[in-house]
Amino acid sequence: MRDINERLNYLIQSVPAKVKQYSEQEFSVRIEGRWSKKEILGHLCDSATNNHHRFIKIQFEKQPFVIVPYDQNNWVLIQDYQYMPLDEIISLWSVLNRHILRIILRIPEEKLVYLCDIGDNKSFTFVELVQDYLRHMEHHLRQIFGTSEL
């Protein structure tokens, strides 16, 4: 967990500065009907919102905790990230992830093995779900910034 905490803290510090190197216009370009960089960043806010709730509920609800998926495209569409100012999106992303980091830092060791039912007869432990959250974030950050080190 220490590696996860350190990496998440590093991203919270470095991503906003990296975003400022780009213009609003550069972040707004859609290519071939795919999400723009603003929408990808908005999607990461949605991921943070959903996982924030999961990371809390897993600790006190019936085990195994059932992960309820969400319709990612509709979340991005309805919240209209494409037309939201970029500085608002990155502020939201930063605040949400600082809060998630606080939650992760307070997870008791014994709860890290709690099971999460992710559907299709598959499950993750709580620690694997947290790892997957970070993996998912890094995947999308690479889409935004390329393969360069963040």
Residue among 62, 60, 82 nearest 73 (CA): 82
pLDDT at 147 over 90: no
> Taking the domain 1-145, which CATH number applies?
1.20.120.450
pLDDT in tens, 67-102: 999 999 999 999 999 999 999 999 999 999 999 999
Query: Does 130 score more than 70 pLDDT?
Result: yes
Residues 6+ apart with CB under 8 A from 106: none
How much is the pTM? Answer: 0.95
CB atoms near residue 12 (< 10 Å): 17
Q: Looking at residues 105-111, what average pLDDT do you find? A: 97
Whether the predicted pLDDT of 150 surpasses 80: no
pLDDT tens string 16-72: 999 999 999 999 999 888 999 999 999 999 999 999 999 999 999 999 999 999 999
Q: Indicate the domain borders of the chain.
A: 1-145
Closest to 89 (Cα-Cα) out of 49, 32, 134: 49
Q: Report how far apart, in Å, the C-alpha atoms of 73 and of each of 3, 79, 143 are.
A: 31, 10, 17
pLDDT at 104 over 80: yes
Mean pLDDT (whole number) for 115-130: 96
* pLDDT score, position 33: 85
Distance CA 8, CA 117 (A): 24
Radius of gyration of the chain (CA): 16
